[in-house]
Structure 1
Amino acid sequence: MLGKVEREKLFVENGSILLEKLIACGSSRSIPIRSFSIKELLKATNNFDPHLLFHKDGFFQWYNGSFEDRFISVKKYYTKREFKEAHREFSKGIPDLPFTDMAICAKMCAHKNVLKLIGCCLETPSPVLVYESDENRTLSDRILASNPQDRPMPWTSRLKVAREIAHAIAYLHTAFSRPIVHGNIKPGNIFFDQRDIPKLSDFSMCIEIPEGEIEVIDLVGSRCITCPYYIGAGIVTEKTDVHSFGYLLLEIVAGKSLRDLCRGTGYFTNWQDYTRTNIVKNVESAIQAGEVEAGLKQQLQASMELSRICRDENPESRPTMVDVTKELRRIERSIP
């Protein structure tokens, strides 16, 4: 652990950067989050015990913790040095990730489908974030049933999850003076609480669209974005999130990861018909076996079509996330 003088210096430096980010993001109201010391978090996580590690990403690690008789989730970002060593292609702008994460999360705290930030530690080279904690299970765990002991989530619950996450993204796009693009929509960034309510997390890659503009050039880059316009020119719009959500919806519908869906199909762009045909075949088999109701086939086909439209190569042909949310609600209500 760093000495007291160094910790105090980092606290001031990180606090200054966070304040600048909050002002830049328009978070003018006070933020009810707690300031944790590194000593408190080391105790809460047993010195970041590897056995308490429950999820890893390219830029951070998640740990289970316990503080003042309550469970917490601790998000530990890599240091600037670790960033440069592991991700040389992202050397520009990456140190800002935890500050962007906190600033946008503070703006989104009122939404029920957003993982709640309860505090942070600024005494480390990269801030450590502290969140509410219930089950610490991601969409990969609940929807894709990556753990053999988990049972896949029922179809009606999957549809509800898709609609609620779509609403959270739509809120991000429309609730503020400037649209905010999430930029990192994937199963590992969606958590569930004990009531199976999905919580969108990781706002570190968020990009605000400048006032009066409809797009922005991303100078950092996110390998989680598969949108053709982004890959080709780094152009980010609200429709970039729509494209990513289309793939997320496909995973929810199929109950399989994109990697599994792509397996054996050749090039990434050539498996659209393959996935549609095989998913429908699986559903028809389930109907014949009496595992699902025949009426659900219509919902699944409608969801597949919505996923296809969201993934259209032409951004102008994609719906807005508001329209996506409305369509998912309509699909939900199509069967009483």
Structure 2
Amino acid sequence: MNLLLLLIPIWLFSYTSFAAPMDVRPDSPLSSIGDPVLPTEKEPLSQTSSDMEAHSPGMPEVRIVHHQDLNKKILIALIVSSALLGGILLFLSCFWIYRLKNSKKSNAQSQESLDASKGLSLGPILGKFTALRTAGKKGSVDAIEYQLLVAATNSFQESNVLGEGGFGRVYKARFNDNFLAAVKRLRGQGQDTEREFENEVDWLSKILHQNIVSLLGYCIHGESRFLIYEMMHNGSLESQLHGPSHGLALTWHLRMKIALDVARGLEYLHERCSPPVIHRDIKSSNILLDSNFNAKLSDFGLAITGGTHNKSNIKLSGTLGYVAPEYLLDGKLTDKSDVYAFGVVLLELLMGKKPVEKMSPSQCHSIVTWAMPQLTDRSKLPNIVDPVIRSTMDVKHLYQVAAVAVLCVQPEPSYRPLITDVLHSFIPLVPVELGGSLRVADSVSPARS
């Protein structure tokens, strides 16, 4: 409507400008009256009449020729005014389309800025991640802008800290109302931090398994390094067992399910990856639990490809209490080193104790050293079990689990079982609804727990 109001005066101005000559009539009687050139002397009437008669035949011809010229001018004026009007319309249309596009672009940028202030959405990144996971494809993870992490963690506020360890802090990140993630901010700088960061991104961009945590993205900001994982709502196994709840949420069947999930994750690394992968840092703090208590392995910063490794080609790393004796003493590292660490985690699940506990300010003892004599004594075994699960455990199954744990923590690597054998020994101990093959009427589901 505004465009039409603008065009009406332009068209009227064009029309009146070109139509003005049409009102000029040279043969009008008024033109002779206004003529300043008049005869000064009277001529005889007869002569005047004869002159009029002499010239009168030519006057109609002059008048006709003049009207043809006017018609041509009118036609030209109409054509020119129409062309001018069409040009103006075309220009205004193009200008209007240009303004419309700019307006849409400006609105989009304004919306992005608004999203940034509220906690930006990872729409494209999450869409790609979901598509890859749904299709079962492996692919590289995405780099995420630092500003996104700042907005999602509320500038890394203390209230958003989920946990802290030697690697750094983990923050809860809210990217929109429906999506949460965990952001690990690596502590320290230097070659070791950079190598572990690159190792984590490299391995988790290749590995796809239900019992291995998913990496959503990473961020490099100056000297800082960040890793963005799927959110695991029940935290780590360490926080569940040794935190404020002291394992109250973990029933016997749930603990067996967690052991089965960890065994499945390790079996995938040892037997199904090519080349095989040694995790090298299996411990309760690196076992994460989702909202249904599904366990997933995390922290692949120390992971390496399989084979026999020794001190000459690998740096000694790990966590005290979980490190296999042959690796600690001689630097020998194989897949059986992961099996030993799994055995220690299994003892934590059974007894609710930490892998290394202080007896006094100057003395510590290992859970393996302390538990080994009692694990093989059936009369003593029920007494060392975590009190939280004593009333719900199946004693027959307890003896089987204790036997597996004893084999896994054998000092000699060749005596330890393959993780595949461990996996198959746990399947009959876990209820069907929790991923095993055990059928019991009163089995507990994760949701109810």
User: TM-score range, shorter-chain basis?
Assistant: 0.7 to 0.9
Aligned match of 1:222 in 279, 296, 317?
317
The one-letter amino acid paired with 1:45 is T
Residue 149 of structure 2 aligns to a residue in which SS?
Answer: helix
CA shift digits 1:314-333 (9 cap, x unpaired)? 11111111111111113445
Shift of residue 216, structure 1, vs aligned partner: 4.7
Residue 223 of structure 2 aligns to a residue in which SS?
Answer: coil
Structure-2 residue corresponding to 1:281: 383
Contact 1:145–1:151 (CA under 8 A) maintained in structure 2: no
Contact 1:249–1:307 (CA under 8 A) maintained in structure 2: yes
Contact 2:410–2:416 (CA under 8 A) maintained in structure 1: yes
The one-letter amino acid paired with 2:215 is L
CA shift digits 1:55-78 (9 cap, x unpaired)? 112122111111133211001112
1:136–1:100 Cα change, 3 Å: farther
Alpha-carbon separation, structure 2, partners of 1:53 and 1:286: 28
Structure-1 residue corresponding to 2:170: 62
Residue 147 of structure 2 aligns to a residue in which SS?
Answer: helix
Structure-2 residue corresponding to 1:172: 269
Contact 1:60–1:78 (CA under 8 A) maintained in structure 2: yes
Q: Is the counterpart of residue 73 in structure 1 residue 198 in structure 2?
A: no
Shift of residue 301, structure 1, vs aligned partner: 1.5
1:161–1:204 Cα change, 3 Å: same
Alpha-carbon separation, structure 1, partners of 2:269 and 2:301: 13
The one-letter amino acid paired with 1:49 is Q
1:286–1:68 Cα change, 3 Å: closer
1:175–1:121 Cα change, 3 Å: same
TM-align CA RMSD: 2.8
The one-letter amino acid paired with 1:232 is L
Aligned length: 288
Alpha-carbon separation, structure 2, partners of 1:42 and 1:167: 35
Alpha-carbon separation, structure 1, partners of 2:246 and 2:138: 43
Shift of residue 259, structure 1, vs aligned partner: 3.2
Aligned match of 1:271 in 370, 395, 399?
370
CA shift digits 1:119-159 (9 cap, x unpaired)? 111233243111111415111233x1522386241101110
Residue 236 of structure 1 aligns to a residue in which SS?
Answer: coil
Alpha-carbon separation, structure 1, partners of 2:225 and 2:364: 41
Identity %: 25
CA shift digits 1:272-304 (9 cap, x unpaired)? 3455366522559899x9x236xx111111111
Alpha-carbon separation, structure 2, partners of 1:30 and 1:163: 24
Aligned match of 1:37 in 142, 145, 163?
145
The one-letter amino acid paired with 2:426 is L
1:150–1:112 Cα change, 3 Å: same
> In the TM superposition, what are the counterparts of 1:181-330 in structure 2 within 5 Å?
181-209=278-306, 213-217=307-311, 219-224=314-319, 225-260=322-357, 263=359, 267-268=365-366, 270-273=369-372, 276=375, 279-282=381-384, 291-292=391-392, 296-330=394-428
Contact 1:34–1:118 (CA under 8 A) maintained in structure 2: yes
Which structure 1 residue ranges, 5 or more long, are not aligned? Answer: 1-28, 82-91
1:154–1:105 Cα change, 3 Å: same
Contact 1:115–1:201 (CA under 8 A) maintained in structure 2: yes
Alpha-carbon separation, structure 2, partners of 1:190 and 1:324: 17
Structure of greater relative contact order (alpha carbons < 8 Å, 6+ residues apart) = 1
Q: Structure 1-normalised TM-score?
A: 0.77
Please identify which structure carries the higher helix content.
2
Contact 1:161–1:197 (CA under 8 A) maintained in structure 2: yes
1:284–1:215 Cα change, 3 Å: closer
Structure-2 residue corresponding to 1:117: 215
Shift of residue 53, structure 1, vs aligned partner: 1.3
The one-letter amino acid paired with 2:165 is D
Contact 2:162–2:172 (CA under 8 A) maintained in structure 1: yes
CA shift digits 1:163-215 (9 cap, x unpaired)? 11111011111222211110111111111111111111101110113xxx444
CA shift digits 1:102-123 (9 cap, x unpaired)? 1111222x21111111111123
1:263–1:162 Cα change, 3 Å: farther
Structure-1 residue corresponding to 2:161: 53
Alpha-carbon separation, structure 2, partners of 1:115 and 1:263: 35
Residue 73 of structure 1 aligns to a residue in which SS?
Answer: strand
Contact 1:183–1:206 (CA under 8 A) maintained in structure 2: yes
Alpha-carbon separation, structure 2, partners of 1:233 and 1:126: 34
Which structure 2 residue ranges, 5 or more long, are not aligned? Answer: 1-136, 431-436, 441-449
Residue 156 of structure 2 aligns to a residue in which SS?
Answer: coil
Shift of residue 271, structure 1, vs aligned partner: 1.3
Alpha-carbon separation, structure 2, partners of 1:75 and 1:135: 15
Aligned match of 2:204 in 86, 91, 105?
105
1:206–1:283 Cα change, 3 Å: closer
Moved more, 133-142 or 95-104: 133-142
Structure-1 residue corresponding to 2:58: none
Alpha-carbon separation, structure 2, partners of 1:243 and 1:68: 41
Alpha-carbon separation, structure 2, partners of 1:123 and 1:168: 32
Shift of residue 34, structure 1, vs aligned partner: 2.7
